[in-house]
Structure 1
């Protein structure tokens, strides 16, 4: 029997979001104490996006390079993989694709959360790192040297004094403008120019009954260049949605993924990938920990694969509720897609595990 299709209103009512809607940090969720052990070499995913699970890919030594939460990963042009963790001893672990740790560096951030890669017009690559605990947003070299720090929302005049600000993610536009998602603060996307001067903001906290262009948790933001004009795609985690905006902040469209409390959007080729940090249970629309999986959408915003989740099904054009199928992941916080189409999944609140690699097999 197919699961019912929860409406957005039903989802919000039953997901335990009273505390989450207050937006004082990460949302309150329900722990699942019956999590089963993950599955080495399991084949997960659907259609042309199927993967072999490699739980032992990382060769990091916990005694030498400990991690807390593995938040996000990116791959740079030379093939190296950069992992961001909120372990202040080593915020960044740099891997090769075999899982060997090449080096580490740190900014000393206790709330390191967002890691975005940008290549400038000269072909130089830089990283953008957000710290949710201090409100810092910094641009660094690949070696960890800070080149620019954005002012906080209060200091730049975007917010009134004492307005909550806890940035979670960044994206950089074609002209160098920086977009900062205040996902654990006041739910705006803040826009700065390339020099770090505040330009504008859009979004803001949504009411339960109305959400077009507003957020309950603007967890991530990315530049989407798959169409004729570049757009910003932003996470609306608590509503299981992604929203698209023009670069000036005008709302364009959204896609609803019932049951999937998604993390940041990752654009790779023609597809959008995201880790699902929290999930639901059959006929239970609350927000549960340890129910994570991954989603893959095509260029038409159709869900084509859910590695670790049940096969995606549409009925009368509406996607049926998504649920974890195989307990490979606990809380999938990010997906990195490498130059061969393999995936790396970083997890939050998963007993300090290093990323898993998903080798594409179909």
Structure 2
């Protein structure tokens, strides 16, 4: 789809949604759900809200923003927060704290787990320090990627505020500069710079907040790279060497990173469009897509609707979440939701029903 076609599609869907929302804002804005214990979601993907799952003693194990979570091969749930008293919190699936470590990531934001032939590593991105750090599961620093000007990829004055990483099948490290210059930078396993693509803009191969990046292995013979363009309400697909392929438009959803589990694609929605179709504070939901990249459920959001094959505007239905920043899915299909700017709340568990 061309840039012009994309804009026309967005304008068409936005206009239709505006007409629809004219009659719904009081329901949406004034809904008073039961919250804890409520069942949310649609179709085959419904969940019971467990708000207290990850609660800890905040005087000993505080959080600021619960940014992202991954699960290791032992089933442990590892979360990064930008609270330097304990940047990493490690839970078991019952919500019990197993470990905590890390004091050097004031902007601890992105967390990626890489299983390299049975040996597991973490990649932590910190937009505040402008660094990407590879560690073992105990926090030992093994590799650091700093400002791209050091390797001639940026000018010294170019902002570099990395938000996410992904690791390719050959060990290539993809760094999303989502809060900086909106490039995806490629490094080899040793941390040596290879190239970059993207940048800020409204072109098909450009980004507006390249917040997340992940490798899509669902087509095992042809893995691709999926990159968030959050302000475009989109994921954009690229080849592993950075050639643009297509755009997955999710109108109304300011999505964070794509998370794959089985045949499905999950994402936290950090903001929803509610009043006057603007980006609305203290909103958000979770969105779930099937193997054909069709939205099948929006826990906390409105039921997905397609007209003539086009996805209609999606918005927050009930104020259960505040800025869903990431999701992690366990082997029983439960979802763990990390939230940003949500009054320092711990992760919420959505139990599959």
Work out whether the TM-score is over 0.5.
yes
Deviations 1:23-57 (A, max 9, x none): xxxxxxxxx99796760111011111110000010
1:147 aligns with 2:146: no
Matched residues in 2 for 1:240 and 1:72: separation?
Answer: 19
Q: Which residue of 1 aligns with 2:261?
A: 268
Q: 1:345 aligns with which of 337, 341, 351?
A: 337
| 2:177/2:183 contact within 8 Å kept | yes
Matched residues in 1 for 2:98 and 2:30: separation?
Answer: 36
Deviations 1:65-113 (A, max 9, x none): 0010000000101011001100011000000000011110014211110
Which has a greater percent of helix? 2
1:299 aligns with 2:291: yes
Matched residues in 2 for 1:201 and 1:58: separation?
Answer: 38
Question: CA shift at 1:325, angstroms?
Answer: 1.1
User: What RMSD over aligned residues (CA atoms) do the two structures have, in Å?
Assistant: 2.0
Matched residues in 2 for 1:59 and 1:258: separation?
Answer: 33
Question: CA shift at 1:10, angstroms?
Answer: 8.2
Q: Which residue of 1 aligns with 2:25?
A: none
- CA separation of 1:356 and 1:340: change in aligned 2, threshold 3 A: same
SS at match of 1:299: coil
TM-score by length of 2: 0.91
- CA separation of 1:108 and 1:197: change in aligned 2, threshold 3 A: same
| 2:298/2:304 contact within 8 Å kept | yes
Give structure 2 stretches of 5+ with no counterpart.
Answer: 1-6, 16-27
| 2:31/2:318 contact within 8 Å kept | no
SS at match of 1:345: strand
| 1:219/1:264 contact within 8 Å kept | yes
Q: 1:315 aligns with which of 301, 307, 319?
A: 307
SS at match of 1:109: coil
Q: Which residue of 2 aligns with 1:289?
A: 281
Matched residues in 1 for 2:101 and 2:32: separation?
Answer: 34
1:137 aligns with 2:129: no
- CA separation of 1:302 and 1:137: change in aligned 2, threshold 3 A: same
Question: CA shift at 1:61, angstroms?
Answer: 0.8
Give structure 1 stretches of 5+ with no counterpart.
Answer: 14-31
| 2:32/2:318 contact within 8 Å kept | no
| 2:267/2:287 contact within 8 Å kept | yes
Deviations 1:137-171 (A, max 9, x none): 01111111111111321112111121111000000
Q: 2:231 aligns with which of 229, 235, 238?
A: 238
Matched residues in 2 for 1:37 and 1:317: separation?
Answer: 31
Matched pairs, number: 334
Matched residues in 1 for 2:155 and 2:337: separation?
Answer: 37
- CA separation of 1:60 and 1:179: change in aligned 2, threshold 3 A: same
- CA separation of 1:38 and 1:290: change in aligned 2, threshold 3 A: farther
Matched residues in 2 for 1:346 and 1:169: separation?
Answer: 15
- CA separation of 1:88 and 1:11: change in aligned 2, threshold 3 A: farther
Q: Which residue of 1 aligns with 2:198?
A: 203
Matched residues in 2 for 1:38 and 1:142: separation?
Answer: 38
Misfit runs of 4+, over 6 Å: 10-13, 32-35
Deviations 1:205-256 (A, max 9, x none): 114xxx2111011000001101131111000100100001111000111111
- CA separation of 1:248 and 1:47: change in aligned 2, threshold 3 A: same
The correspondence of residues 1-362 of structure 1 with structure 2, limited to 5 A, is 7-8=9-10, 39-121=35-117, 123-207=118-202, 211-227=203-219, 228-281=221-274, 284-361=276-353
Question: CA shift at 1:203, angstroms?
Answer: 0.5
